[in-house]
A and B are shown apart, each in its own frame.
Chain A
């Protein structure tokens, strides 16, 4: 059966995820070493150790995302994160930076290592590079591939594959996007944030609400329209060829209906996005996919409507898994 990999931004969410049936939980330290570096989120060293003890007691694994790109002259912060994750007993660090993978492979040669989606390994050759150079055992695939392309990858590589099945959808290839830093100076690769709340402003007027990021208008909503968060690539813009959601509508990924295809494609693990989300989200989404996987095993119908409240704008997409998305 495919593994279910679930997010946790807090010890409480970690516990909820395990109780709801996660095979593994991924989390990060509360600093710039991970790509969900939000205030009040993530784990101290002590919280991680306790989380690992809890998970291992229930037969679940803990993966530690150390997936931003170390700042020049500050590599020790990221190296210490790897060392601390390993010594705490984490089952694998999830890394994106070549220099850090090199460090981890040399310093902890027996440690299982996962390649983050931020490393943008989108084909068997790139995956083989990470496997040969650093002994990487699993790669989280970027959200640019169709299901047949994923099948081709799993046929050609011995590295395990992990794919996103639910949550916030990057429209651009992950780890290769500077849109946020262009508007705000803060980037996913360097600071671990995208479209950060510190640079968001809402302006109310008689006509409705305008949302801005770093001074740029990302969207305008009518008085009766709910105002969504101004994630840059999900904004409404205008061009000479027309206006609207030029990059992507405000939708979330939901691949519940594709689980069978992903299993046939040889995928090892299914990943749920959302370390920034609360316990209720984690618990409901994990439980949903646990049931869907059980239904897949028994050949019965899965509930495909249950997750609507947890999607952005109550709308979902199959993203690049369906080729026509492109």
Chain B
């Protein structure tokens, strides 16, 4: 089972972003790393100057590097940026919107979790057009995951396995709206929240996380306990999504459990310490509401309790 590190979804300070990847290159037992700004095209210029060095360092450390494409492409400069990415040499593109596909023209690529692949026929369509890796949409249940993985045996199927789960993308920037700014003049206020902005219900239930134009869960996906059944279902890679925590430690925990150096309970304790204060969830995998956490590997398959006011 491979481990893959998804792109940083939040607006981190550029130097910190670079140093994060340098440390991943030097220390993290991860096989694949997707880099690039995929949430908001306005942020891209800040990371662009560090990107070549980051890619070089990661590749030098033996990681496969994927370049993530923007999730929502509507402006002319976003289209140009996406097309440039698609024709770039040296690293595979991870497609997050179909805008890329024409420019890719059948060349090998990866498909990210923001492309809707809910069934075997869609997966096979993309595989026939050069998709070598597919990270499936996070809301897919295990039954569908297994079916799709069986249908495209030559494609590495990846599942979103750690991190706050991306739930929606919008043309509207909620960070700007909250700060009473327009998107065009947003002053990059999202940089104040390197782990996203917590959104509560009016009864103070932790609910969602706001990240500019993106909305994510409050809970942190954790499929550590489900890795065995995912492996049996022909899933070839687990995606860990960067949060504002020690991701090298998170990656090591997953690697240790996958390689049998740590049991699942011990791994979960380590994850809870690595990323404290954020409850786990894996409901989507088990066809439950996404916020639910169903503890795996226990005879009575305990279901997480629903939120209480």
A-side interface residues toward B, CB under 8 Å? Answer: 69-75, 96-100, 102-103, 119-126, 128-130, 132, 144-145, 149, 152, 171-173, 175-179, 181-185, 187, 189-190, 210, 214-220, 233, 235-243, 246-248, 320, 323-326
Contact = CB atoms under 8 A, between A and B. Distances in A.
Given A99-B124, A176-B169, A182-B290, A238 B116 contact: no
A173 B290 CA distance: 19
B167 A178 contact: yes
A181 B198 contact: no
B52 interface: no
A177 B122 CA distance: 18
Given A70-B118, A122-B74, A246-B178, A239 B198 contact: yes
Contacts of B287: 185
Contacts, number: 226
A69 B123 CA distance: 12
A216 B205 contact: yes
B167 A220 contact: no
B178 A236 contact: no
B36 interface: no
Interface in B109-125: 114, 116-125
B173 interface: yes
Size bracket of the B interface: 35 or more
Contacts of A100: 121
Interface string B134-177: 00011100011001100000000000000001011111111011
Contacts of B118: 69-72, 97, 189-190
Interface in B183-206: 183-184, 197-205
6 contacts: A120-B116, A123-B99, A182-B217, A189-B116, A237-B208, A238-B202
B238 interface: no
A246 B177 contact: yes
A69 B137 CA distance: 12
Contacts of A233: 168
A98 B126 contact: yes
Contacts of A239: 178, 197-200, 210
B83 interface: yes
Contacts of A181: 139, 284, 289-290
B171 A121 contact: no
B131 to A, nearest CB: 11
A220 B309 CA distance: 13
Interface of B: 71-76, 78-79, 82-83, 97-99, 101-103, 114, 116-126, 137-139, 143-144, 147-148, 165, 167-174, 176-179, 182-184, 197-205, 207-208, 210, 215, 217, 283-284, 287-291, 306-309
Contacts of A103: 121
Contacts of B167: 177-179, 182
Contacts of A121: 98
B171 A73 contact: no
Nearest to B281: A182
A149 B74 CA distance: 8
Contacts of A69: 116, 118-119, 122
B7 to A, nearest CB: 17
A97 B202 contact: no
A99 to B, nearest CB: 3
B289 A123 contact: no
A171 B147 contact: no
Contact of A171 (B98, B148, B170): B170
A63 to B, nearest CB: 21
A120 B99 CA distance: 10
A33 to B, nearest CB: 13
Contacts of A72: 118-120, 143-144, 147-148
Contacts of A184: 289
Contact of B168 (A74, A102, A173, A240): A173
Given A75-B119, A149-B74, A126 B98 contact: yes
A139 B308 CA distance: 43
B102 A132 contact: yes
A176 B114 contact: yes
Given A97-B119, A123-B99, A217-B203, A145 B74 contact: yes
The 4 closest A-B pairs by CB, nearest first: A99-B121, A144-B171, A72-B147, A69-B118
A126 B201 CA distance: 36
A249 to B, nearest CB: 11
A172 B102 contact: no
B210 A75 contact: no
Given A70-B119, A72-B143, A102-B121, A144 B170 contact: yes
B172 A325 contact: yes
Contacts of A179: 167-168, 208, 215
B289 A214 contact: yes
B307 A216 contact: yes
B122 A190 contact: no
Nearest to B197: A239
Contacts of A102: 121, 125
